[in-house]
Amino acid sequence: MNAMSEEERLELTRGILNMLDEWDIEARDQLLLLGMENVPAREVKRLRDGRPLPDEPEIMQRVEHLICIADALRTTYPFSKRMGRLWMHKPNRKFRQRTPIATMVEDGIVGLVSVRSYLDCSYSWDISGSKG
């Protein structure tokens, strides 16, 4: 992601938090997904009240993965947001019977990449080096 203005980061922050809320992810886990594990859980309230996400490369990388996961879910379940949320909470053989959310929270960036790769075969193809 390119450098963003504070207003753009505020809009991004609102969108990401709304998306994580739609997936029924608790505040503490939202921070873990964003790579903000060393901040208190009350930080989510501050983010909701108008504080933008920090402009840090790792956080922005995680945000990009989360957005791409949401896009892939919309492609997979185009007629139902509910199905995407249900999929995120359903144990999956690919993730050792963990839910995609648990995989992302517990495995960090590797978990985000795993879930994104599972949902987005073109991304999986790109990172595999098969593209040539």
pLDDT of amino acid 122 = 75
CA-to-CA separations, 19 to 16, 23, 89, 94, in angstroms, rounded: 5, 6, 14, 23
Instruction: Tell me the whole-structure pTM to 2 decimals.
Output: 0.89
For the chain, which residues make up each domain, given as ranges? 6-128
Structure confidence at residue 39 (pLDDT): 93
Please report the pLDDT score of residue 121 as a whole number.
81
How does the average pLDDT of the chain come out, rounded?
Answer: 92
Q: Is the pLDDT of residue 1 over 60?
A: no
Beta-bridge mates of residue 92? 98
Give me the pLDDT at residue 131, please.
Answer: 57
pLDDT reading at 37 higher than 80: yes
For residue 128, what pLDDT is reported? 66
For the segment 95-111, the average pLDDT, to the nearest whole number, is 98
